[in-house]
Amino acid sequence: MRWEHFAHEADMGVRGFGSSLAEAFEQGALAMTALVTDLGLIDAREPVMIECSAPDVELLFAEWLNNVVYEMATRHMLFSKFVVTIEGLRLRAEVWGERVDADRHHPAVEIKGATYTALRVINEDSTWLAQTVVDV
């Protein structure tokens, strides 16, 4: 597992780790989705494109997660596969998932969005870390 959760008052924190910034962002999105349901229950059937940008890399991580939340909410989907490309402060991603099936996915929470609380993106010892708290 290259992601983890951390407790933060009434909300939940997500962390993604990777050998690249893009991989840490992918893992952060997986951590966020894992708050909703078991990732193994989501079939990567339908692709969706996401593009976003921000003035710095930390805000880009929050913007990325908020775009994923938006796509989940408006398309009534859950995603289990993320392929992210980052050039400068622009992100382009193809994400795969399926429509929510409450009987199969048993959604635990609804994610309202990524916050700036504990927002951090760093590279230490050749490992990228991207983390923030999400409002559930």
Tokens 């989705």 found at: 33
Is the torsion defined by CA of 110, 96, 104, 3 positive or negative?
negative
- Of 11, 3, 1, which Cα lies nearest the Cα of 61? 3
User: Number of folded domains in the chain?
Assistant: 1
pLDDT value, residue 66: 98
Task: Give the per-residue pLDDT at 7.
Answer: 73
pLDDT grade for 1, boundaries at 50, 70 and 90 = low
Check: pTM over 0.85? Answer yes or no: yes
Q: pLDDT by residue (tens digit) across 17-39?
A: 999 999 999 999 999 999 999 99
Tell me how far apart the alpha carbons of residues 105 and 108 are, in angstroms, rounded to a whole number: 9
Residue 47 is part of a domain; what is its CATH number?
Answer: 3.55.10.10
Tens-place pLDDT, residues 48-97? 999 999 999 999 999 999 999 999 999 999 999 999 999 999 999 999 99
Q: Are 40 and 1 in contact (CB under 8 A)?
A: no
Asked if residue 36 lies in contact with residue 93, where contact means CB atoms within 8 angstroms, the answer is no
Decide if pLDDT at 121 tops 60: yes
Structure confidence at residue 120 (pLDDT): 98
DSSP-assigned beta bridge partners for residue 127 = 124
What one-character DSSP code corresponds to residue 132? Answer: E
**Where do runs of H (alpha helix) occur along the chain?**
21-36, 57-75, 102-105
Q: What is the pLDDT, as a whole number, of residue 4?
A: 75
For residue 13, give its domain range: 3-135
Evaluate whether 4 touches 115 at the Cβ level (below 8 Å). Answer: no
